[in-house]
Amino acid sequence: MARLTRRDLILRSAALGCSAAASPLLTPVSFASMPSDNRLVVIILRGAMDGLDVVQPMGDPAFRLARPDFQLGPEEGNHDLDGFFSMHRALEPLMPLWQAGDLGFVQAVSTPYRNKRSHFDGQDLLEAGTPDGTEGQAHTDGWLNRLLQNMPNARRETALAVGREEALILRGAAASVSWSPSARLALSDATSDLLGYLYRNDPLFDDAFQNAEFYSSLLYGDFGSEEMADGEMAEMMQEMIDQSNQSNSVQSLASFAAERLRADARIASFSIGGWDTHRSQIGGLQRPLRTLATAILRLRDGLGPAWSQTTVLAMTEFGRTVHQNGSQGTDHGTGGAMLLAGGAVRGGRVYGDWPGLDEADLFDRRDLMPTRDVRAYAAWAMRGLFGIERSALESHIYPELDMGSDPSILL
Amino acid sequence: MTSRSTLAQIRFGTGLGVRAQAEDPDQILRRLQGRDLAADEFPMETMQTRVADALRLHELRRARHESDAAQNSFTNYRREFRNRVARQLGTRVARAIWTEDGLRERLTWFWADHFTTVPHRVQMLGRISAYVDMAIRPHVAGNFADMLEAAILNPIMIRYLDQDRSIGPNSPVGLRRGASLNENLAREVLELHSLGVGANYDQRDVRQLAELLTGLSVNTDWQMVFRAATAEPGAEQVLGVSYGGDEPAELDDLRAVLRDLALRPETGRHISWKLADYFLTDVENSGAVDAMTSAYLESGGDLSAVMAALLDRPEAWQMPFSKVKRPFHFLASATRALGLDPEEVSRAPLGVIGRVVQRPMAAMGQSWQGAQGPDGYFDDDQEWIRSQSLAARIGWAMTMPSQIVRSLPDPRQFVDTALGDAASDDLIWSVARAETREAGIGLVLSSPDFQRS
């Protein structure tokens, strides 16, 4: 397989961690094979997905009141799931999966992270899988890596981190493979807004930034493969501008992950960004949701028969405020939602205990109250997929976790 | 409040990083006048090595059809050849990361641009770096006359500005072949390298200097030679001074005219203005150029004295950072702030250097060793920040760090690593709100705070 020998493949292992051979600048490539037939894909939704807009609690009367300007419920094109929750219209392509029982959600969950609502800390905790209060620490490993350490037959090729972003979730003593396509990563609206803010008092940068979007291929870090003549360059750039960038790159991530999961890999992880919808959420949430839907469909198509043995968990660092803010968006919150997909999950339902949205029910009187640790669901998934001992899950993989009763999210 | 130490490292060095750079004027000058430690640590290949390599490549290319083995040796050697060229760029980045004497790097970039040469053939590719290290770098804290002579008499410059095609019309070869002058180098020496285009010289001076420069050429081993057979006989007058006399033309006449040009007040002013403008904005309204010109003339072209005069100016120590970093400067300071291992950078292969440095630089508008002409890259900040080139800077800032750093730092700490007390409140506020670590690092590196020096 020629694709696997590309230079972009980066071999990561703790044993090599300190030597020049493992340097991202110097690394060569390799690959090989593995046990268990079950597959686990973890998609990190970076930027804090608004679980309340994705899985809309229409049955709770307080919801509409909190978000008067949002497009909520089936009358706005969203999909009624069970009479209480509606699924966001941008996930429409996933409706067949819902109907087939290959798609489900968990509502009102969160990591143990509380109060500070920092993206970095929140994502660190989500990937490290550690308790609240550990966010300031230097995390040496992530929970998927500790899962590998608890899989006696795991080899380096068992786990695959796809994408350029740092994969804390897979970092650690157990070796894994990481692959980064040359594809681009979108500059999300939120990042673009922050850049605009930084440039606002510097006319030179501010003016240039106004039209920088036109050069989106450059903006997404694609500098071309070779030096090219002007004509060729212009042509290629136009081609790239025509493509929607993150969506495209995530498609290739998901396809590659599926290809590897069909072969030797059993665990894969990648990220989708763009969820930080502080303003104009009606439009702003469409893009990442469509990307997420595409990624899941790519995984299903690419996995073929192995889809039936696959569990996809899409998790975010925290949810968003119950009330809309002054710019038709939402701010950083606490409780949120997780998406479950795959032929191995018991889909077609929304899991979780609904806490209610009356002011007294909220966390800090502003956020959806998490009613369960999101790690508990992931832990039960790992138990079901790979037979990991409960004691290992509750201490080593997820320190200080109480898994509670089995929510039976797997078939 | 930005400290003097931070300002010194960002404005007069290659930026903040793991190793601190010189923090005040005395330290800056002491290190600049001391040993070139970065070049000791990360040496550049010599011209001779490059010439020998190119010759070997040429031989292997000719022999490659003789057998499969010959084809293989050619292919392998060609890969190695290209990797070595890439390593030259890696070496320049590595020095900027490693150094505690950042002004030396900055001045090397400045003077390499002042004495721009551009490879017009593949075999020249690897030689520009050798030229810069040989003719430019040793003199950045020395005397301008020495640098001028070393640069103009270097085979790379001679070839680049066609001096080897300039034949004295009355020289033996000229008389025999009816060949004539090529004024290219002579014109650029006056216009770009010494007096400056605004100075009081005319076409006769160009012509006379061109005649004086005849004889200057390059042999097949890429060494500078003086060929009396092509040198114009007789005396030449440049700016009212007579060179050559009745004796047969010789290289010393050339050296004499270059030295005299270096000591002209117009040259002192031209050089001082360019240097001031490289570090500061609004130099028209500052006394820096006058002070530097005086230092130049009083010291007889001592570039350390000129830099000391610049560092002595109050405006050299005023915030905000206002000059836009050139793309290479941006990339070098970014890799330094990101804490890349200079040793690894210096050994990185072509594919990596191309992806991380060379192609991004080109996308930002500064092709490596690819200036449009002998006048070098743009001088004007406005030219560097267009929508397209800014998109390339942002694209690099947002996407490259996670590809080249093992573990991205927390952006809230990285603001401090990269900018220290020069980070604006706006930036600190924004970075804390970034959506991802990657975006946070990207914001720091894309910010005007980091993009300017």
Report ipTM for this prediction: 0.91
Cα–Cα distance for residue pair B215/B349, rounded to 1 Å: 40
Cα–Cα distance for residue pair A135/A124, rounded to 1 Å: 7
Q: Considering only the beta carbons, identify the residue of A118, A198, A274 that sits closest to B427.
A: A198
Chain A residues inside the 8 Å CB shell of B389: 208
Query: Per the CB < 8 Å rule, is B386 touching A208?
Result: yes
For residue B105, the model assigns a pLDDT of 98
Q: Least CA distance to B430: which residue of chain A? A: A194
Cis upstream peptide for B401 (omega within 30°): no
Q: Least CA distance to B406: which residue of chain A? A: A24
Cα–Cα distance for residue pair A196/A210, rounded to 1 Å: 9
Query: Per the CB < 8 Å rule, is B436 touching A46?
Result: yes
Q: Are strands A350-351 and A103-110 parallel, antiparallel or unpaired?
A: parallel
pLDDT at residue B146 tops 90: yes
Cα–Cα distance for residue pair B138/B116, rounded to 1 Å: 16
Distance (Å) from the C-alpha of residue B333 to the closest C-alpha of chain A?
17
Query: Per the CB < 8 Å rule, is B439 touching A197?
Result: no
- DSSP single-letter state for residue A394: I
Q: Considering only the beta carbons, identify the residue of A26, A118, A202 that sits closest to B344.
A: A26
Mutation site, A5, A6, A10, A195, interface B, largest B CB count within 10 A:
A195
pLDDT at residue B81 tops 90: no
Query: Per the CB < 8 Å rule, is B395 touching A195?
Result: no
- How many A/B residue pairs have CB atoms within 8 Å? 172
Query: Per the CB < 8 Å rule, is B438 touching A185?
Result: yes
Query: Which carries the bigger pLDDT value, residue A230 or residue B21?
Result: B21
Q: Considering only the beta carbons, identify the residue of A119, A218, A275 that sits closest to B434.
A: A119
CA nearest B97: which of B324, B330, B337? B337
pLDDT at residue B125 tops 90: no
* Total-model pTM: 0.77
Chain B residues inside the 8 Å CB shell of A162: none
Query: Per the CB < 8 Å rule, is A165 touching B426?
Result: no
Cα–Cα distance for residue pair A108/A60, rounded to 1 Å: 13
Cα–Cα distance for residue pair B194/B188, rounded to 1 Å: 8
Q: How confident is the model at residue B354 (pLDDT cuts 50, 70, 90)?
A: confident
Q: At how many degrees (to 10) do helices B387-399 and A203-210 cross?
A: 90
Query: Per the CB < 8 Å rule, is A223 touching B430?
Result: no
A122 CB near a chain B CB, below 8 Å?
no
Both structure tokens of B293:
């010109």
Query: Per the CB < 8 Å rule, is B403 touching A24?
Result: yes
Cα–Cα distance for residue pair B7/B419, rounded to 1 Å: 9
Query: Per the CB < 8 Å rule, is B356 touching A271?
Result: no
Q: Least CA distance to B427: which residue of chain A? A: A198
Chain A residues inside the 8 Å CB shell of B348: 25-26
Cα–Cα distance for residue pair A89/A86, rounded to 1 Å: 9
Query: Per the CB < 8 Å rule, is B437 touching A120?
Result: yes
Q: Considering only the beta carbons, identify the residue of B355, B388, B434 that sits closest to A215.
A: B388
Distance (Å) from the C-alpha of residue A333 to the closest C-alpha of chain B?
13
Q: Considering only the beta carbons, identify the residue of B386, B437, B449 that sits closest to A166.
A: B437
| Rg for chain B, CA atoms, rounded | 23
For residue A246, the model assigns a pLDDT of 58
For residue A185, the model assigns a pLDDT of 46
Query: Per the CB < 8 Å rule, is A26 touching B388?
Result: no
Return residues 217-246 of A near B (CB < 8 Å).
Answer: 218-224, 227
Query: Per the CB < 8 Å rule, is A227 touching B448?
Result: no
Mutation site, B378, B387, B404, interface A, largest A CB count within 10 A:
B387
For residue A62, the model assigns a pLDDT of 97
Distance (Å) from the C-alpha of residue B288 to the closest C-alpha of chain A?
25
For residue B350, the model assigns a pLDDT of 81
Q: Tell me: the pLDDT tens digits for B264-322?
A: 999 999 999 999 999 999 898 889 999 999 999 999 999 999 999 999 999 999 999 99
Cα–Cα distance for residue pair B429/B427, rounded to 1 Å: 5
Query: Per the CB < 8 Å rule, is A123 touching B388?
Result: no
Cα–Cα distance for residue pair B415/B421, rounded to 1 Å: 9
Query: Per the CB < 8 Å rule, is A120 touching B396?
Result: no
Both structure tokens of A33:
């094979």
Query: Per the CB < 8 Å rule, is A47 touching B400?
Result: no
Query: Per the CB < 8 Å rule, is B395 touching A166?
Result: no
From the centroid of its chain, how far is CA A348?
A: 21
Q: Tell me: the pLDDT tens digits for B201-229?
A: 998 999 999 999 999 999 988 899 999 99
For residue A23, the model assigns a pLDDT of 44
Cα–Cα distance for residue pair B11/B319, rounded to 1 Å: 10
Chain B residues inside the 8 Å CB shell of A187: 394, 398
Query: Per the CB < 8 Å rule, is B436 touching A273?
Result: yes
Chain A residues inside the 8 Å CB shell of B447: 198
Chain A residues inside the 8 Å CB shell of B404: 24-25
Query: Per the CB < 8 Å rule, is B432 touching A118?
Result: yes
Query: Which carries the bigger pLDDT value, residue B47 or residue B425?
Result: B425
For residue B87, count CB atoms less than 10 angstroms from its CB and return exposed for 0-12, middle for 13-18, buried for 19 or more. Answer: buried
Residue corresponding to tokens 């004007």 = B380
Chain B residues inside the 8 Å CB shell of A20: 341, 343-344, 347
Distance (Å) from the C-alpha of residue B141 to the closest C-alpha of chain A?
33
Q: Give pLDDT tens digits along chain A (411 positions).
A: 333 332 333 333 322 333 333 444 443 222 223 568 899 999 999 999 999 999 999 999 999 999 999 999 999 999 999 999 999 999 999 999 999 999 999 999 999 999 888 888 899 999 999 999 888 787 889 999 999 999 888 887 788 887 755 578 988 888 877 766 543 445 788 899 999 999 999 999 998 898 787 676 677 677 765 443 333 333 333 333 333 355 667 887 888 889 889 988 899 998 888 899 988 899 999 989 999 999 999 999 999 999 999 999 999 999 999 999 888 999 999 999 999 999 999 999 999 999 999 999 999 999 999 999 999 999 999 999 999 999 999 999 999 999 999 999 999
Is the distance from CB of B98 to CB of B42 less than 8 angstroms?
yes
CA nearest B132: which of B153, B149, B156? B156
For residue A410, count CB atoms less than 10 angstroms from its CB and return exposed for 0-12, middle for 13-18, buried for 19 or more. Answer: middle
Distance (Å) from the C-alpha of residue A170 to the closest C-alpha of chain B?
12
For residue B115, the model assigns a pLDDT of 97
For residue A20, the model assigns a pLDDT of 32
Distance (Å) from the C-alpha of residue A81 to the closest C-alpha of chain B?
30
A127 CB near a chain B CB, below 8 Å?
no
Chain B residues inside the 8 Å CB shell of A26: 344, 347-349, 352
Total residue count of chain B as it appears in this document? 453
Both structure tokens of B183:
């004024």
Query: Per the CB < 8 Å rule, is A195 touching B446?
Result: yes
Q: How confident is the model at residue B249 (pLDDT cuts 50, 70, 90)?
A: confident
Chain A residues inside the 8 Å CB shell of B340: 25
Return residues 258-277 of A near B (CB < 8 Å).
Answer: 271, 273-276
Cα–Cα distance for residue pair A350/A337, rounded to 1 Å: 10
